[in-house]
Amino acid sequence: MSIWKRHLTLAQMNELGSRCSLAHLGIEFIAQGEDWLEATMPVDQRTKQPMGLLNGGVSVALAESVGSLAGFLCVEEPQAVVGTDINASHLRPVRDGFVTARATPIRLGKRVQVWQIDIRDQQDKLCCSSRLTLSVI
């Protein structure tokens, strides 16, 4: 059974991010299932730290972006969601290519949502595991 209460196409999701940090970082929503949302991001000069690795803070920005949009799609008008807490464990360095983040719900409550966001490299190896808490407003 689907968890989504708002129904946007991937094109509409990407349009929402076209004039903000998502576009600057190259984040693109690429797939959606009954209880998950996925986005990809390039590992390039925009997203690397000075030592040539994917910047951990940028990984967190990816996690919060995909988790927040997923949370937004799980509430009805006029509700929205805002992030209140995020943590991330950086498990493996990424030097190039792209990464893919998948957000899946841990809890979808009336006032609080908790999302697990796993970020994987092109070899499908887990490089970052993040948990996002959203308040429903």
In three-state secondary structure terms, 22 is: helix
Residue of 15, 28, 64, 76 with catalytic role: 64
Q: What share of the chain is helix, strand, coil (3-state, %, to 5)?
A: 20, 40, 35
Tokens of 106: 């841990």
Q: Is 64 a catalytic residue?
A: yes
Q: Which residue has 């000069």 as its token pair?
A: 45
Residue 69: Cβ-neighbour burial (10 angstroms; 0-12, 13-18, 19+): buried
Q: Which residue has 């920005």 as its token pair?
A: 61
Task: Name which of 54, 29, 30 is nearest 44 in CA terms.
Answer: 54
Report, as residue numbers or ranges, the catalytic residues. Answer: 64
